[in-house]
Amino acid sequence: MNIEIHISHGISGEYNIPGDKSISHRALMIAAIADGVSTIEGCSSAADPLSTRLCLESLGVTFDSMASHYRVEGRGLRGLSGSRKPLKAGNSGTTIRLLSGVLAGQRFSSEIAGDVSLNNRPMLRIFEPLRLMGANIHGTKNNTAPILIDAVPDLHGIEYTMPVSSAQVKSAVLFAGAFAKGTTTVREKIQTRDHTERMLGLATAVEDGVWKTSIEGGMAIHAQHFLIPGDISAAAFLIVAGLIVPHSSIRILNVGLNPTRTELLHVLKGIGASIEIVNERVLAGERIGDLHVVTSDLQGDMMLQGETVAKVIDEIPILAIASLFSKGTFRIKNAEELRRKESDRIASMTANLRTIGVDVEEYPDGFGFEASGSLHGGAIESFDDHRIAMAFGVAGLMIPGITIQRAECADISFPGFWGFLH
């Protein structure tokens, strides 16, 4: 499906966005291995969390749902049952990596794989710590999916220092730790999103500048009522649209404001964005609030590197689009991880920016350009990457003649997104 984007002369109104994908995945998994009946309110209806639900159903979990409200019959730590067929994770890296942590400690064997894109993404990062715990887990000769996980009698706890900043790897190890004998401790130099820790009630401490989280094997996981806030990574596209389109004033409701997820707002405010947080409160252990965004005169350079990159890794495509209209330069370094997303996002962004007239330089670990007023339309290749498609969709509100090719990939994280742009 190709979509032609039309110039906007102003965006206004209140917007609800999909439930947070990261929290939705975790709520589904935790509810599945909890004791008792959990409810999930506001679960994302995007394709990725649906992949998690379908995998869990294949493992014997029962879901009763009405729209985004789920009632989940928890099976307890040892109540899952093996699937006779390979589990299908679709395009979801969160599904395949986190669920591998759950499956690593089971007394049955499993196979899990994804679509062509997911099956090319790196999995050694979860294989290594899970093997240290005693898991019998392996993939292809290139350490990609399909992933085979053989039954083991028991895992054992480990102390693991994260070699890469990845909430998916951290969560996979913590989930496996729930099935292990003893204590499992994860250390990270840069704190990644901490939803798993919050939802499992795990304490996190900082020692000598290192974040440390531990889980006791066999701990009771109680049924809960999960309230899923709006996904700030989805809100990012509407935020930037509201900032760059003249005569805009929008309010995005019930957005998750977890401190590990809000670096996006600080980066945008650094180039003059007018974003106000209103009606802030705490629900189900997560900060949420409404975001009031108005058209802003964006000015200044955006330089992303080091710790900042880890905190905005999912928002980099749309931050680059914001920078196009900031009368400054954009540079991102230390972002090799972008090459291992749904597409090689460094190459994808570079190619599409050149299509619309940007003189962009590509580096092994990033890319850079100077904002230019001489932008023009063109056919944007989505590379079946939802964040690439949506980022250039937002650009099309200001640049005439942009068409997004294979735009349906936006449904992976933001069903109905194209309706927001019309």
Q: What does the pLDDT look like over 11-20, one tens digit per residue?
A: 999 999 999 9
- What does residue 369 show for φ and ψ, rounded to 5 degrees? -160, 165
Does 195 share its domain with 273? no
Confidence of residue 283 (pLDDT cuts 50, 70, 90): confident
* Strand stretches in 60-168, DSSP E: 62-66, 69-73, 87-88, 110-113, 136-138, 147-150, 155-156, 159-161
Number of domains the chain contains:
2
Does 189 share its domain with 298? no
Does 304 share its domain with 219? no
Contacts of 115 (CB under 8 A, 6+ apart): 90, 91
Does 212 share its domain with 257? no
Percent of the chain with pLDDT over 90: 95
Active-site pick, 314, 359, 384, 411: 314
Confidence of residue 372 (pLDDT cuts 50, 70, 90): confident
Does 287 share its domain with 413? yes
- Give me the residue label for tokens 């000015």: 299
Tokens of 359: 């003189």
Domain boundary among the residues 179, 209, 227 is at: 227
* Strand stretches in 153-248, DSSP E: 155-156, 159-161, 180-181, 183-188, 204-207, 210-216, 225-227
Domain boundary among the residues 201, 227, 253 is at: 227
Annotation marks residue 365 as catalytic? no
Q: What does the pLDDT look like over 148-167, one tens digit per residue?
A: 999 999 999 999 999 989 99
Does 177 share its domain with 64? yes
The DSSP symbol for 228 reads: P
Domain boundary among the residues 180, 210, 227 is at: 227
Does 35 share its domain with 52? yes
Q: What does the pLDDT look like over 299-354, one tens digit per residue?
A: 999 999 999 999 999 999 999 999 999 989 999 999 999 999 999 999 999 999 99
Does 383 share its domain with 252? yes
Mean pLDDT of 213-222: 96
Q: What pLDDT is recorded for position 186?
A: 98
Q: Which CATH number goes with the domain that contains 277?
A: 3.65.10.10
Alpha helices, H only, 34-166: 47-58, 93-104, 124-132
Distance separating alpha carbons of residues 380 and 358, to the nearest angstrom: 13
Q: What is the pTM of this model?
A: 0.93
Mean pLDDT of 262-281: 97
Distance separating alpha carbons of residues 151 and 103, to the nearest angstrom: 9
Where in the sequence is the domain holding 286, given as residue range(s)? 3-18+229-420
